[in-house]
Structure 1
Amino acid sequence: MTQPDSNGQFGAYGGQYLPPELKQVMDDIAAAYEEIRNDPAFQQELADLQRHYVGRPSPLYFCRRLTEQLGGAEIYLKREDLNHTGAHKINHCLGEALLAKKMGKTKILAETGAGQHGVALSAACALVGIDCEIHMGSIDIAKQAPNVTRMKVMGARLVSVERGTKTLKDAVDSAFEEYLRDPQNFFYAIGSVVGPHPFPQMVRDFQQVVGEEAREQFLTQYECLPDTLIACVGGGSNAMGLFTAFLDDTSVEIIGVEPSGHGLDTPNHAASLTKGQPGVLHGMRCYLLQDDEGEPLPVYSIASGLDYPGVGPQHSHLKDIGRVQYETASDDDCLNAFVTLSRCEGIIPALESAHALAYAMRIAPQRPGKKLLINLSGRGDKDIDFVAERLQL
């Protein structure tokens, strides 16, 4: 469940679906990653930055008032929103930036949806001293103005993507085309557990610190493991970061929550695992929302970081073997959870994270005495103007 095979596949998913000229480039990245992941000096450098730059470990927080309001299960949050740059994204961005620097790359490219990956990568590139270029759909640029400003302040070059749906999938396409201009000198820092091998494994490994901390914190503070883990799933990096450390704990239920948007019976959702079929996207095989010709369908979510037509190959494998259960939450569910947590606990969640919270709020009343752990993968500062306008606050 935790490691890809020698071809970079998790079961039937993953791999490298690439033009021949990129195969060697990806193999070089895979070799460099294997070297640094087994290098104690690199791991110590990364651990020091996680502690002193990011602010790890992030807290484990018990939502007392929300628990009382819902009745039933106890609600706990893994507070990734308190990391430097405001989300879990900094965990893998630091690792990717350090790897690119050690490989002698001259520029790091990336896509971003909600902007959190772009902000985190801009910070990491400023820290290690390497040029950074972020591609972002123009619709997401309009929705995520604070993050756009943060990226520019930290020196990143921002490319507005005007084609297609003008959202995350098109930003990935645009960034990848720029990467193809000079893959020997550029490094594409993929922002989730997606793409060709080794990125699904590499991003997962850098994010695994979330679950390792949470597991240790639960055992130390409560002398038990949580009964249920819940995390939102777009590409799926925050979810894999939490889930991985618990996959062998068969007593722990694991739930990923996809965006059902305006409804699964409409085209306006991004529930790839729930409604998709296996296909090939961005160099990997995964569950994919696709048309009859296998082309990705337009997708939608109120949360910019979740509107992606595919999903990480490890998630696809975990669905097939039944280890992780995948559910959905709608825009309305998300907004309700966003406001409820803000007013009940004084914590403003990212709209992405609010999908996971919404599902937890749905099942908590039926699970008295159980402990539900939600990965609060990002803070909602980036979303407050959009939500205020939407709800006329």
Structure 2
Amino acid sequence: MRARVGQGTQTPTAFGVYVHWPFCLSKCPYCDFNSHVRHAAIDEARFARAFARELETTSERIPGRTVTSIFLGGGTPSLMQPQTVGAILDAIGKSWRLARDVEVTLEANPTSVEATRFAGYRSAGVNRVSLGVQALDDASLKALGRLHSAREALDAVAIARKSFERYSFDLIYARPEQTPAMWAEELQLAIAEAAEHLSLYQLTIEEGTPFFGLHAAGKLKTPGEATARALYDVTQEVCARHDLPAYEISNHARKGAECRHNLVYWRGQEYAGIGPGAHGRLDINGTRHATATEKRPEAWLMRVEANGHGVVIDDCLNSEERADEFLLMGLRLAEGIDPKRYAALAGRPLDPRRIALLREEGAIAVGTDGRLRVTQAGFPVLDAVVADLAA
């Protein structure tokens, strides 16, 4: 059963499937994702069988779902052959029903895409692609450890435009020596190439990455707090002016073009995590399970072949944990959260005194619909706002 638009039935309840392909051509110096470089050929057929087996086992735990979105992330999923992608999507279609308008996203790097492969992904059932462009000038791309040039990136976007009605790409800002004027110019070029969606992330220095060591040694200088804030403000202003407002703290889209799969996460809905290092949130007999699989690809493979799954963490979240997660994820969205849903999850309402204080400080707003939203002034200090509300 091929996962493509027009198959299955629509459902008002969102349910996502995340599939993690853990392999990359090289490891970027800023990346702390579960990605691995292998110099020998990957046995894609063996991995595809393991994905299908883990999907089968997961569907036995949560039968009867209708899949509204699928996300093939990584790693670099565009290193897979189209037939491998097709086999994975077929396995999802055998495990659960597929919504008529199921969104199927595949992450791709501009170094690993070509017209024939994109066409193959489209035939396999992918209907949305997300490109890891990261920068639109060659010096920055080299500094970020990327293997493509700005020209190659723009060529890949053009290929995506021909192959898919829906596509997006990522950029990283707050890079070393980047000024607000430089970023505004680059962003306007990006918007001219983006049809409907951009993911714009501030560079963060993550522990355990090469950038962390360089930064600690003073060999990598990122913009100071004031410049980083100015870069954030430029991002919001330029995107809003071009009808790409932020619907989430780092994601911008034209109305109706939001990434439906990521909304599943941010709205606290249910999703299955399949593949090495994938996380999931499963609702079983009224209890929310937080799952995670073995990170090491070969170890995951052996676990699945032996046990039918690679799950190494399967925690039942209590009401407080589930409510805190809902708050943490939901306040990332421009639409905010419904405080009544928080109260239903937590068994207690949010503290009205804390809400009043944060409103007075201009960090949050309460709409006429009763929804609680973080303001533009509050988003740069989102973690502090969430911590204050959850206390």
More strand by share: 2
Q: TM-score of the superposition, structure 1-length normalised?
A: 0.28
Q: Larger Rg: 1 or 2? A: 2
Higher relative contact order (CA closer than 8 Å, sequence separation 6+): 1
